[in-house]
Structure 1
Amino acid sequence: MFEPSQADVRRFFCSVYAKWRKAQPMDALETLASQWVAEHPEYHADFSDEATALARMYDVKDGKINPFLHVSMHLSVSEQCSIDQPRGIRQAVELLTARRDSLHVAHHDTMEALGQMIWESQRSGRPPDGQAYIDAVQRRATQD
């Protein structure tokens, strides 16, 4: 299994940002990542300086979102939908997208559910509960 380090992830997004800005060729994953980078101009400064990106720590207590984690979660949701894993995530995100009238907003809602699933797994010491994750996204898609 591919397990990139924090530095690998940050280098990847800095590289994607540089290629995107210069309109350079990208592979499929870089192209997908660049689409989410483009959706988040508030993070462009974070992606523009690799040395600073590698040294910077993002602490929740500081109230600043980690842009590398945030865009990584967008990629995760995109990949999950592309292969429908866990089974049912594609349909749930599609329903949520229609409900929110925005793929981006639907991703943010889905990312909250994904984060909750990961937190529950870590807290309990059990494997992630994919069905609870799907259920949470579906609830968001059907709430009034």
Structure 2
Amino acid sequence: MFGNDRNQMRRFYTESWRKARAGEELIPLERLLAGVIQQHPEYHALLEAPESALEKDFLPDAGETNPFLHMGMHISLQEQIGTDRPPGVRQLYQQVVRRIGDSHEAEHRMMECLGRMLWEAQRENRLPDEQAYLRCLRRLAEK
């Protein structure tokens, strides 16, 4: 969305949330962000204090989840599902939702596959393996 500029990306999240709460007109990406943020009330206080949100480091070693990464993965999944890219992801998502019974929880489960694929690609310095990703999603849909 914003390359490597962490502060610019985080400002877009906080500003989108501010505008949504104020009832201001939103562009499509802001609407998408506001919808994801709405589903995560645990992040509202952080997003309503923009300066704190910009400065905070979220350390996995300390057991912290990065809310911006978490919400960004929701957005990535929603874009994948909307465009059916990689091909077949939309149908797998629908199967996971039917099996679990909740679309938000289905996305959380799918994020494990997405995160693993991205981590492996980064670790091995290669492109993400879409086929491995789809296999992981198929296993999730069939459980």
TM-score normalised to the size of structure 2?
0.95
Q: Could you say which residue in structure 1 is the equivalent of 2:118? A: 118
Q: Compute the RMSD of aligned alpha carbons.
A: 1.3
Q: Could you say which residue in structure 2 is the equivalent of 1:34? A: 34
* Equivalent position SS for 2:73: helix
Amino acid at match of 2:33: A
* Equivalent position SS for 1:85: coil
Task: Give runs of aligned pairs for residues 63-78 of structure 1, distance below 5 A.
Answer: 63-78=63-78
Aligned residues: 143
List runs of 5+ in structure 2 lacking aligned partners: none
List runs of 5+ in structure 1 lacking aligned partners: none
TM-score normalised to the size of structure 1?
0.94
For 2:8 and 2:29, the matched residues in 1 are separated by: 14
Alpha-carbon distance, 1:74 to partner: 0.4
Identity %: 38
For 2:87 and 2:3, the matched residues in 1 are separated by: 23
Aligned partners of 1:46 and 1:67 also within 8 Å: no
For 1:96 and 1:110, the matched residues in 2 are separated by: 8
Q: Could you say which residue in structure 2 is the equivalent of 1:129? A: 129
Higher relative CO (Cα under 8 Å, sequence separation at least 6) belongs to 1
Q: Could you say which residue in structure 1 is the equivalent of 2:59? A: 59
* Equivalent position SS for 2:26: coil
